[in-house]
Chains A and B, each alone.
Chain A
Amino acid sequence: MLLAGEMLRAICPPAAARVSLALLLVFGTAVHAAELRIGNGGEPLTLDPHRYNLNLEEKILADLFEGLTAHDAHGRIVPGAAMSWTTSVDGLVWTFKLRPDGRWSDGQPVTADDFVFAFRRLLDPKTAASLAFFMYAIEGAAEANAGKIPVEDIAVRALDSHRLEVRLARPFPFFAERLIYPTGFPVPKHVVEKLGDDWVKPGNMASNGAFTLADWQPQGFVRAEKNAHFHAARTVTLDAIRYFPTADRNAAYNRYRNGELDIIGDFPPGEIAWLRREMADHLHISPLLSIMYLVFNVTEPPFDDSRVRRALALAIDRELITGRVLQSAEVPSPTFVPPMVENYRSAVTAVAADTDQAAKLLAEAGYGDDTPLRITLRYIAGADNKKVHVAIAAMWRAIGVQTTLHHAELNAHFAELRQGAFQVAQAGWFGENNPEHYLELLMSTTGDVNYGRFADAETDALMAKAKDAVGLDARLGLLRQAEVAGLSLDPVVPLYAVTIRSLVDPRITGWHPNPRNVHPARYLGVRAAP
Chain B
Amino acid sequence: MGRYLLRRLTFALITLFAVVTVAFFLARAAPGGPFDGERRLPPEVEANLRAAYDLDKPVVHQYARYLGMLARADLGPSFRHKDFSVNELIGRGLPISVTVGGLALALAVVVGVTAGTFAAMARDRARDRLLVTAATLGLALPPIIVAPLLVLVFAVGLGWFPAGGYDTARSYVLPVIALSLPYAAAFTRLSRGSVAEVLGRAHVLTARAKGMPTWRIVRRHVLPSALIPVVSFLGPAAAALLAGSMVIEEVFSLPGLGRYFVQGALNRDYTLVTGTVIVYAALVLTFNLLADLCYARLDPRIRHA
**Could you tell me which A residues sit within 8 Å of B by CB distance?**
1, 3-4, 6-7, 9-11, 43, 45-48, 51, 53-55, 125-133, 136, 142, 145-147, 200-201, 216-221, 244-248, 250-252, 254-255, 257-260, 408-409, 411-412, 414-416, 418, 430, 447-449
Asked if B82 contacts A45 (CB within 8 A), the reply is yes
- Specify which chain A residues have a CB less than 8 angstroms from the CB of B99 in the assembled complex: 1, 3-4, 7
- Specify which chain A residues have a CB less than 8 angstroms from the CB of B30 in the assembled complex: 412
Contacts A4-B99, A51-B82, A254-B156; A411 near B162 (Cβ below 8 A): no
Contacts A133-B45, A447-B40; A247 near B263 (Cβ below 8 A): yes
* Cα of A254 to Cα of B165 in the assembled complex, Å: 11
- Specify which chain A residues have a CB less than 8 angstroms from the CB of B176 in the assembled complex: 7
- Specify which chain A residues have a CB less than 8 angstroms from the CB of B250 in the assembled complex: 247-248, 251
* Residue among B83, B102, B170, B260 with most chain A CB within 10 A: B83
Asked if B38 contacts A46 (CB within 8 A), the reply is no
* Cα of A248 to Cα of B33 in the assembled complex, Å: 22
Asked if B163 contacts A260 (CB within 8 A), the reply is yes
- Specify which chain B residues have a CB less than 8 angstroms from the CB of A127 in the assembled complex: 48
Asked if B170 contacts A254 (CB within 8 A), the reply is no
Annotate B248-263 by CB proximity to A: 1 below 8 A, 0 otherwise. Answer: 0011111110011001
A136 to chain B, nearest CB (A): 8
* Cα of A204 to Cα of B259 in the assembled complex, Å: 27
Asked if A219 contacts B260 (CB within 8 A), the reply is yes
Asked if A9 contacts B164 (CB within 8 A), the reply is no
- Specify which chain B residues have a CB less than 8 angstroms from the CB of A252 in the assembled complex: 253
- Specify which chain A residues have a CB less than 8 angstroms from the CB of B61 in the assembled complex: none
* Cα of A53 to Cα of B34 in the assembled complex, Å: 12
Instruction: Indicate if B206 sits at the interface (CB-CB under 8 A).
Output: no
Asked if B36 contacts A411 (CB within 8 A), the reply is yes
* Cα of A247 to Cα of B259 in the assembled complex, Å: 10
- Which of B31, B48, B81, B162 meets A416, CB within 8 Å? B31
Asked if B38 contacts A260 (CB within 8 A), the reply is no
Contacts A255-B164, A260-B163; A130 near B35 (Cβ below 8 A): yes
* Residue among A1, A3, A131, A133 with most chain B CB within 10 A: A3
Annotate B223-260 by CB proximity to A: 1 below 8 A, 0 otherwise. Answer: 00000000000000000000000000011111110011
Binds A, one of B16-24, B89-97, B115-123: B89-97
- Specify which chain B residues have a CB less than 8 angstroms from the CB of A131 in the assembled complex: 39, 45
B90 to chain A, nearest CB (A): 10
Binds A, one of B147-155, B207-215, B288-296: B147-155
Instruction: Indicate if B266 sits at the interface (CB-CB under 8 A).
Output: yes
Residue of A nearest to B79 (CB): A45
**Could you tell me which B residues sit within 8 Å of A by CB distance?**
30-33, 35-45, 47-49, 51-52, 80-84, 88-89, 92-93, 95-96, 99, 102-103, 148, 151-152, 155-156, 159, 162-166, 168-170, 172-173, 176, 250-256, 259-260, 263, 266-268
Asked if A45 contacts B173 (CB within 8 A), the reply is no
* Residue among B33, B44, B151 with most chain A CB within 10 A: B44
B31 to chain A, nearest CB (A): 5
Residue of B nearest to A131 (CB): B39
Asked if A128 contacts B49 (CB within 8 A), the reply is yes
- Specify which chain A residues have a CB less than 8 angstroms from the CB of B266 in the assembled complex: 409, 411
- Specify which chain A residues have a CB less than 8 angstroms from the CB of B102 in the assembled complex: 4
- Specify which chain A residues have a CB less than 8 angstroms from the CB of B169 in the assembled complex: 3, 6-7, 9-10
A91 to chain B, nearest CB (A): 23
Asked if A248 contacts B251 (CB within 8 A), the reply is yes
Contacts A3-B95, A43-B263; A248 near B253 (Cβ below 8 A): yes
- Specify which chain A residues have a CB less than 8 angstroms from the CB of B93 in the assembled complex: 218-219
* Cα of A408 to Cα of B83 in the assembled complex, Å: 29
Asked if A200 contacts B267 (CB within 8 A), the reply is no
B223 to chain A, nearest CB (A): 24
A409 to chain B, nearest CB (A): 7
Asked if B103 contacts A414 (CB within 8 A), the reply is no
* Cα of A258 to Cα of B160 in the assembled complex, Å: 9
26 chain-A/chain-B pairs, Cβ below 8 angstroms:
A1-B99, A4-B99, A4-B103, A10-B168, A10-B170, A45-B81, A45-B82, A45-B267, A128-B45, A132-B48, A147-B44, A219-B93, A219-B256, A220-B165, A251-B252, A254-B152, A254-B164, A255-B164, A255-B253, A260-B165, A412-B30, A412-B32, A415-B31, A415-B36, A447-B43, A449-B40
- Specify which chain A residues have a CB less than 8 angstroms from the CB of B172 in the assembled complex: 3, 6-7, 10
- Specify which chain A residues have a CB less than 8 angstroms from the CB of B148 in the assembled complex: 250, 254
Asked if B103 contacts A7 (CB within 8 A), the reply is yes
Residue of B nearest to A216 (CB): B83
Asked if B35 contacts A146 (CB within 8 A), the reply is no
